Structure 1
Amino acid sequence: MINNNTETTVQTTRKPIVLVPTGAKEYGGHWYQLMGKKYLDPLVHIADCAPVMLPTAYGEDRIEQYLDMADAIFLSGASTNIDPTLYGQEWLTQDQAQDKGRDNFNIALIRAGLKRGLPFLGICRGFQELNVAFGGDLYQKVHETPGMQDHREKDSEAPLTEQYGPNHSIKLVPDTWLQKILGVNDMMVNSLHGQGVKTLGRGIVALAHAEDGLVEAAYCPEFSQFTLGVQWHPEWLATENPLSVKLFKAFGQAARDYSGQR
């Protein structure tokens, strides 16, 4: 028998849903669709969102259905490189794996999602995918490009805390929304990428540069919602980095704002 005088109602607040496409990986002859937990942690613990992982291995037919349930899009880094034929170049990094299913899926997801007004955050490869989606291209080997620094991790055999430690400084473009959110003019970032943005895609505008001029952050001002791609890895130990916390909180708020309009 229920005592109506003492009964309490537990209300569940809906968390914004963030679409997180996965990547293909082969282990022991079996293919998997994977996403690193380090990317999901700040979406849950800082942005306060509900990540939903999407398989990228089955084509783009279901993208609109995925977008119907979404409040934001998040694209992670990966060990694979984008197929250079998508930006008009020959394949120069054949020692690095590709993931064409991810390429095609994510490029279509970016275009359709941004058109709908969904907030977007792309990290490392995810930033590069954003650029390629709008007609930009990449340096396939930044470290072999005259005038450019080596942006790869200094020692791939070192402990992760060293690989993901501060590597070089970047300078934020003054008086931009990112500079105002972070509250700094320059900052130290980690750096674990061999490729980088060369020519910015249509409508994409830089928000930060490395010491050698490489674009480290950019957005799409033609879209009114939150859009951001960064070349470093703010997800690494994000709760211990005040600037990463600010970034993911801003993304989470953008997702909540979109959710409130549904």
Structure 2
Amino acid sequence: MTRPIVLVSADVRPGDGHEWHAAAATYLEAVITGSDAVPLVLPSLGAAIDLDAVLTRVDGVMLTGARSNVHPSLYGGVASAENGPYDPQRDATTLPLARRALELGIPLLAICRGMQELNVALGGTLATEIQSLPGRRDHRAAQSDVQDERYGLAHEIEVEAGSCLAAVLGTAPDGGVTRVNSLHRQAVDMLAPDLLADARAEDGTIEAAHPQAAKGWALATQWHPEYWVASDETSKKIFAAFGKAMRARMRRAE
């Protein structure tokens, strides 16, 4: 069997007088090493892209994290300088991409901003600057120029028994606890009607979720499993499950 092809979301950033559509190498490398698949970056060109034409040629979709936040106008919020930066071109691409991937049963892995995109795409809302909310811990990255410190495992999450994540991790029948990293300023507020929470942090922040009506495998994590996929068992299992789901779909299509 040939390796699965994974469609990877792109950020839009200026540089050298040009507008670049790019994905961080950590995500691309995690697809290769963790899922034994081939990453293909999708430019954030919104409605100019024929999603069905693209999705018929790939085996999975990954929505990556990003420095930008989902624009609040998409879930009834108000934009602010504090909550930015925003990437409206990415929003215009990833939200319909997530919905269509689920409709077609294409395996979907949504990470950090990707989880927030999935929630908004399905009708949920987001809480912004959660570090300022009463009772919430500071989920932002550690202040450091060393990436291993910024992406260090920061807190525990409680995995819901019987959830998609529990099945991936092989936790006990009553759920389980695992440690994850934390690099975000906003999080799920109202969970979309079709999403179920798979894990929460001690402060109640939803850390993982999956769409209950999805036609294929789908999982969203608020943390970044891509960074430690080579050494962390939780991260390894998530990317391995993503790869397994894609291969299963490829076999069914033969």
SS in 1 for 2:12: strand
Write the distance in 2 (CA, Å) between the matches of 1:203 and 1:116: 16
Gaps of 5+ in 2: none
Contact 1:92 1:140 (C-alpha < 8 Å) held by counterparts: no
Query: Mapping of 1:110-125 within 5 angstroms?
Result: 110-125=98-113
SS in 1 for 2:89: helix
Whether 1:250 and 2:241 are equivalent positions in the alignment is yes
Out of 216, 221, 231, the residue aligned to residue 230 of structure 1 is 221
Contact 2:119 2:188 (C-alpha < 8 Å) held by counterparts: yes
Write the distance in 1 (CA, Å) between the matches of 2:124 and 2:93: 17
206-215 or 52-61: which moved more? 52-61
Out of 69, 72, 84, the residue aligned to residue 72 of structure 2 is 84
Out of 87, 90, 100, the residue aligned to residue 99 of structure 1 is 87
Query: Mapping of 1:32-181 within 5 angstroms?
Result: 32-57=20-45, 59-94=47-82, 96-155=84-143, 157-181=144-168
Higher Rg of the two aligned structures: 1
Contact 2:83 2:129 (C-alpha < 8 Å) held by counterparts: no
CA drift of 1:149 comes to 1.1
CA drift of 1:94 comes to 4.2
Write the distance in 2 (CA, Å) between the matches of 1:186 and 1:196: 20
TM-score, length-normalised on structure 2? 0.94
CA drift of 1:53 comes to 0.9
TM-score, length-normalised on structure 1? 0.91
Out of 208, 230, 233, the residue aligned to residue 217 of structure 1 is 208
Write the distance in 2 (CA, Å) between the matches of 1:259 and 1:173: 29
SS in 2 for 1:89: coil
Among all aligned residue pairs of Structure 1 and Structure 2, give the percentage whose two residues are the same amino acid. 36
Write the distance in 2 (CA, Å) between the matches of 1:261 and 1:45: 24
Structure 1 outlier segments of 4+, above 4 Å = none
